[in-house]
Amino acid sequence: MKRILTTAALLALLPPAFALDAACDPLVKSSEAKIAQPAWHVVVEGGGTKLESIKVDDQFFMSQGDKWMKSPMNLDEAEKIAIKQMQDGGIKITNCKDEGTETVDGVEMNILSYTTEIPGSGFPAVTAKLYIGKDDGLPYKSVAEDEDKTTTVTRYQDVVAPKL
């Protein structure tokens, strides 16, 4: 359970990129585009666990299961820290590759595959695919090839704060 929470949290918060590899630039840009949004709702599922986070009006909320709470951290700031770690190698991103396009829920997506690893963490490298909106550059979905087949889905429209 701890492993899925750690992996899922990283995947939800870190649409990865590695500044030294130009093929990974769209991944950093998608993360920055998400931070700039006024609202988003992220659902991470894998290994029988579902985690959610919401941003509305610069407020952040989290839930595991049906219980919502205010997030103890600013998730946009956490993502900015992660981007910096990707750029300085603290989070290692390799093998970024354009996998073509696909339409998901009526939105045309560019699909990028990559491998991410946190050196010294004890966690194995994970290969994933990130679906980025072709017109808006936003990350909409990622699918990790980890042992839990973790899937992250993000939406940006009609997002409201949860009832606490």
Q: What is the mean pLDDT of the chain?
A: 87
Domain coordinates in residue numbering, the chain = 2-155
Quick one: fold of 2-155?
Answer: outer membrane lipoprotein receptor (LolB), chain A (2.50.20)
Q: What is the pLDDT of residue 133?
A: 97
pLDDT over 90, % of the chain: 62
Contact 141, 153 (CB under 8 A): yes
User: In the prediction, which pLDDT does 74 show?
Assistant: 96
Q: Which tens digits make up the pLDDT trace of 18-63?
A: 344 788 889 999 999 999 999 999 999 998 899 999 999 999 999 9
Count of CB atoms situated within 10 Å of the CB of 107: 16
Give the DSSP letter of residue 112: E
The pLDDT of residue 151 is 95
Beta bridge partners, 151, equal 45, 143
H-helix segments, the chain:
2-13, 25-35, 75-88
Radius of gyration of the chain (CA): 15
Section 113-122 average pLDDT = 90
Contact between 61 and 68 under an 8 Å Cβ cutoff? The reply is yes
> What residues contact residue 81 under an 8 Å CB cut-off, 6+ apart?
none
Q: What are phi and psi of 75, to 5 degrees?
A: -70, -25
Residue with tokens 């006024």: 38
pLDDT 10s digits, 137-163 = 999 999 999 888 999 999 999 999 998
Give the pLDDT band (50/70/90) at residue 5: very low
Strand partners, 128: 114, 144
Q: Specify the pLDDT at position 7.
A: 46
pTM confidence score: 0.84
